[in-house]
Structures are given as structure tokens and as C-alpha cells.
Amino acid sequence: MAVLIHGVVDQNCEATVRLVVGNADTERQVVDAIIDTGFTGFLTLPHSVLSTLNLKPYSREEGTLADGSEVIFDVYSGFVIWDGAFRRIDINASDATPLAGMSLLYGYRVQFDTIEGGEVKIQAFHELNQNLQ
């Protein structure tokens, strides 16, 4: 049976998805992340969430923001419940609104209705192919 990840288009016309993020132990937190097709990483989270989850940075990487400026991000290793399973991902620290990037969405179809309250649907390609057979 196909698993769908659901989200909603918010009042700012941003496609959002609710995620459960955590560490390797038992700490978990729910966050609402904006789907950002211009972000090639997995996920950004504020330092406050990373601290609550007791995550520690393991590297740094350079990134280019939408305005063209270059920044250095601390990179953390964490978990997200994605498509019904725990998945280890890299998380970039950013004190802006959490962003779900293209690396998290890779291998999935994303559909959304671009109206306030519109539905966001994310489904794995392998599940789509099974439904067509």
C-alpha cells in the first residue's frame, strides 16, 4: 500500500510539511518545514531545536543563500521520520524557518494545490510505479 506524506500550503503560499526530527536516542520534536526547491540539502533547523535534541555539529559547509550571499553552516547528523521510517540525514543549522530541501525529496513526487490551505502530497516513485501496475 502506498504511503503518502501530507502537508499544506500556508497563508504565505508556502508548501509546508510537518516532520518529526530527533537524535539516535529518544529525543524527538515536531517541526513544520517549508519545501524549498532552491535548497539542495536535506533539512535546516534552528539552533534551539538542535540544542533541544542534543545534536552536535560534525562539520561545516559553505552555502549560497537566495540573495547570493555566501554563508557557512554547521552540519549536524540527525534523524527524521520520513515515509514511515527513521532516516538519518544531514541537518544544516539556520535560525530561519526550517526548510525541507531537495536531498530529502529526492526520489519522490511532490504535488501541491497552490491556494491557502491547499494540499501537499509527497509519494515515493517506487510506490507510484507499483500503483500503475
How far from 24 is each of 28, 77, 87, 93, 97, CA to CA, in Å?
10, 9, 10, 18, 23
pLDDT at 131: 53
Q: Quick one: cell of 71?
A: 554563508
- 3-class DSSP assignment, residue 57: strand
Q: Are 76 and 21 in contact (CB under 8 A)?
A: no
pLDDT at 130: 57
What Rg, from alpha-carbon coordinates, does the chain have? 15
Residue 120 has pLDDT above 60, yes or no: yes
Output the pTM of the full model.
Answer: 0.89
Cα–Cα dist 99/96, whole Å: 8
pLDDT at 1: 45
Cα–Cα dist 4/119, whole Å: 12
Q: Which domains does the chain have, with CATH numbers?
A: 16-108 (2.40.70.10)
